[in-house]
Every structure is written in structure tokens, then in C-alpha cells.
Amino acid sequence: MILGIDEVGRGPWAGPLVVGAVVLGGAIIDGLTDSKKLSKKQRVRLDIEIREKAAGIGLGWISANEIDEVGLSQALVIATKRAVEQIACPYHEIIIDGNVNFLQSTSKADYVKTMKKADLLVPSVSAASIVAKVARDNYMILQDDIYPGYGFKRHVGYGTATHRAAINKLGITPLHRLSFAPLQKYANNKAHVFNKSDIELTSNQNNASTTKVIGDTAEDVASEYLIRLGHKILDRNWKTKYCEIDIVSCENGTIYFTEVKYRKKPNQGDGLAVITPKKLRQMKFAAEFYVLSNKMADVNMCLSVISASSVSPEVIDFIKI
């Protein structure tokens, strides 16, 4: 029962840092190795198998803005803690890839062993490397539709020549890490900020697929917001026959069932306006069914709604219904 930990996204100019944490718990999965040594197809296949068989999986996300605020070293510590907090199964040892114990300041410090190339040598660390890589790549592919022209789906935020040329032409986005040396010159240059109106979106980009991408991104923003408030994310897009709950989270013993609504502008009003009596009944039924199906006894439940925007502030309202 080894908890393996590895990070993805330390070096990119844009996008989040993601730390993976996996307890395989005796599961045997062929082909596990450092995610960088696998093809995309291999990673996706293994990611599915890991999620099906592992005893515990956690992902710690930290945004570009947070990285700029606290620095990369502290960001790694925060993301690692967030990943480990999501592990509910027992484990007797923690192995972190590399030579830095990111849990040194926690009560788990004595259980940690750091190991260079652990993602090659320890299956649970390899698994952590893979799930973090797939999750981050998928996120950056979604951003390619939100911020067209940058090629995020190809370079996933790394400082390639194509990425550099796109920044020079289009400006920076909220995904960019302005504390990184190549981008520091843009930190106080408000005129050099990406403006979607500078790019004409084709009719194909305004279809249901784009709507889904925007919705997924809003849910990512809302999840990060809840995590910062101390919530542990239990489920995303949990479905029943009649209703889908965007985010299920837990904080101080209360289970929150949150609907996420996207607002193009912060002044468009809160998400409560779209929660009709029918929708409220559906959410209540789904919440009760979730607790029942997961055999949770004597828990407090709260329905809530988050309004998210693509501009600052990204989270407009968090309202408990």
C-alpha cells in the first residue's frame, strides 16, 4: 500500500501544475512507466485502467495565477497536499518522485521517501505520473477552444517557437505564468492581453461542442475555488436519470451539491436566477440518491450554485440554497 506521487507541468509557460497521487493497493497493471516515455494512446489506455483498478487516486491542481502568487516551489507543496487530501484508502508509505519532500511541513513527513526516477521504478508513482499527465493534457486541449490561435492542444503550454509567436501576436491569457522569466515583461502590460474579439470565431466554433468546453472550463474554475475554500472534491458531473450534479464536494462534514453556471460577464447576475423550482426538486432528489447510493449515514447536505465567468472575478457568487 504505497502512495506514489509525481507532478506534471512544472516547466510550461501556461496552464496549471498538476500533482498525481495513486495507491494501487495490489492492482497489477502492465506497462506502467514514466508518462513521458509513453505515447498519447498508451497513456490514455493506462489512465483508464488505473482509474478502474487503483485503490485511491488524487489530483492536486494549482492555477497559473496561484503559481505567480506563491512561486513554483510553494505551488508544488500546495498541489501535493491537495492531491494527498483526496486519498481516502489506507497506505503505509509515501514515495515522491525526485529529491524534495513536498510534505515536509505536514504530519505525513515521516512516512515519505523521495526517490529519483521513481516514476520509472515504482508502479504507483508511474501511475501518478500518468493520471496527472492525461488530466493536464485534456485540460489544455479544452483551453485550445477557449483561446484559439495559441496551439495549446499541441504544446500544452510549453514554451515552443509556435507558442512564443502566438504570444507576440495575440498577447497573454489568464493561463500564462507571468512570474516565469520569458513572460515577466507582460506582467504590467495590460494592453498586451488576449482579446477574443481580435479573432473571428467560425460558425463551427459556436456549436454545442464549444458550449460544452466553456461549461467544462467553468466547472474547473469552480472546483479550484471550492478547493481553496477547503472543500474536497468527491465527484464531477454525477448523473441520475433526471438530473446531473456538476460538483459534489465535502467540507467540515457537510456534503455540497453544486450547480455551476457560466456567465460571460460578471454583471449578468448570479446563478440562482436559473435554478427553477423544478430544477431545485431534481437537485434535491439527486443529492438524496447520492448519499443513499454511497451508503453515507448521518451527513449534512447542502445544495449550492456557483456563477463562473471567463473574466475577473472568475467566481462571481457561491450561494447556498
The residue assigned the cell 432528489 is: 285
Q: Which of 79-88, 185-194, 276-285 has the lowest mean pLDDT?
A: 185-194
- The CATH superfamily holding the domain 2-137 is Ribonuclease H-like superfamily/Ribonuclease H (3.30.420.10)
Helices (H) and strands (E) in the chain, counts: 9, 10
Which of these, 156, 154, 151, 155, lies nearest to 140 by C-alpha position?
A: 156
C-alpha span between 75 and 81 (Å, rounded): 10
First to last CA, the chain: 40
Q: Which of 94-98, 145-149, 218-222 has the lowest mean pLDDT?
A: 218-222
Which of these, 33, 51, 54, 53, lies nearest to 42 by C-alpha position?
A: 33
For the chain, domain boundaries: 2-137, 142-206, 218-320
Count of residues in the chain:
321
pLDDT digits (tens, 9 = 90+) for 180-206: 999 998 887 654 566 555 444 333 444
Is the pLDDT assigned to residue 42 strictly greater than 70? yes
C-alpha span between 141 and 198 (Å, rounded): 21
The CB density around residue 270, as the number of other CB atoms within 10 Å, is 16
C-alpha span between 163 and 156 (Å, rounded): 9
Do β-strands 112-115 and 232-239 pair in parallel, antiparallel, or remain unpaired? unpaired
218-320 — its CATH code?
Answer: 3.40.1350.10
DSSP string, 38-58: S-HHHHHHHHHHHHHH-SEEE
Is the pLDDT assigned to residue 175 strictly greater than 50? yes
